[in-house]
Structure 1
Amino acid sequence: MFFTNIKLAEKYNYLNEKFLAAYDWLRNNDLKALEPGKYEIAGDDVVANVQVYDTLPIEEKRFEAHDKFFDIQCLVEGVEFFGVCNREGLTVIESKPEKDVIFYDKPEVYGHVILYPGDFIVVAPEDAHMPGCALTAPAAAKKVVVKVRV
């Protein structure tokens, strides 16, 4: 799964060596067996974060975006409703530059994908995303989020 705008496809090379290292790591590791935590793939330019959590109702989630990193969000277990939209024009509700995250109010209209085990979505810095949402009811999930430096 891949989601982007054609303008961003021309701006970024989603097959450069950092992305290829991330895809290779995802393909060649037993993601189900990995313990939660941080795994370096290519120094601090490509880092995997293994997360175990319960999805939450959409009403409890908010959109976020990052300035310094792409996210490759790969679902390992469970199912997740994943909101996506362009961050341009969104209202900032909280900014944590030290953690490279900006949170936004939910827009009236946004897109979404449903992630199943093995699915991943690449989110560019220009994209806002709302991960970790329950599809129908909160449920256990495991995900690997690979951060790829811009």
Structure 2
Amino acid sequence: MVLDLLENFGKYVALNPFFPLVEAFIRDNKLEQLAPGSYNIKGEDVLLKIEMANGKSKTEAVLESHQQMIDIQIPLQQPETFGLASLASLPSADYFVEKDLSFYHNGQVQHYITCPVGGFLIFFPQDAHAPCISQYTTFKKAIFKVRNM
């Protein structure tokens, strides 16, 4: 997992061959002005989802993980808190191939971290995360889905 400010995203482009596409998109677009929806950046390898998320309490948020894709999550209006756990510490869970998603309803969050507006979090396949923890009922966020290479 990586937490940093968007102005520093360029320091991480060497981590994945598709990250330069994400960096260019962030540089060339004002994410906060994009309408909610899905944006295809490079086929099935790089996608962007702008959404109005529903805020959850720590007890409502559920840990999730992805095997094929890396999440780059960016709060656009308010800070967002995430529950974190190492995938190795969680019980096995069903994997939904079509959504590249596993949920850990009985998983134990090990840490919480808050990402500020102007920041980003990168979640790799080994990083289980419980998103959308917020005091706000709804908030706008960006999620880049990047193929794990």
Q: Give 1:49's aligned residue.
A: 49
- Structure 2, unpaired ranges of 5+: 4-12
Match of 2:146 among 125, 145, 148: 148
> Where in structure 2 are the equivalents of 1:100-115 lying within 5 Å?
100-115=100-115
1:125 aligns with 2:125: yes
TM-score by length of 2: 0.83
Could you report, residue by residue, the CA deviation over 1:62-117 in whole angstroms, capped at 9, with x for unpaired residues?
Answer: 10000000000011111211112211131245432211000013544512211121
Q: 2:18, 2:30 → 1: CA distance?
A: 20
Q: 1:14, 1:84 → 2: CA distance?
A: 24
Question: Offset at 1:31?
Answer: 1.1
- What amino acid does structure 1 have at the position aligned with 2:72? I
Q: Secondary structure at the match of 1:26?
A: helix
Q: Secondary structure at the match of 1:21?
A: helix
67 and 108 in structure 1: CA distance in 2 versus 1, 3 angstrom threshold: closer
Q: 1:15, 1:31 → 2: CA distance?
A: 22
Q: 2:84–2:109: 8 Å Cα contact kept in structure 1?
A: no
139 and 124 in structure 1: CA distance in 2 versus 1, 3 angstrom threshold: same
- What amino acid does structure 2 have at the position aligned with 1:127? D
TM-score by length of 1: 0.82
Q: 1:61, 1:145 → 2: CA distance?
A: 17
1:59 aligns with 2:59: yes
Question: Offset at 1:2?
Answer: 2.1
Q: Secondary structure at the match of 1:60?
A: coil
Q: Give 2:26's aligned residue.
A: 26
Q: Secondary structure at the match of 1:59?
A: coil
94 and 133 in structure 1: CA distance in 2 versus 1, 3 angstrom threshold: farther
Question: Offset at 1:53?
Answer: 1.9
- What amino acid does structure 1 have at the position aligned with 2:30? D
Q: 1:148, 1:109 → 2: CA distance?
A: 24
CA RMSD of aligned residues (A): 2.2
1:139 aligns with 2:137: yes
Q: 1:74–1:145: 8 Å Cα contact kept in structure 2?
A: yes
138 and 124 in structure 1: CA distance in 2 versus 1, 3 angstrom threshold: same
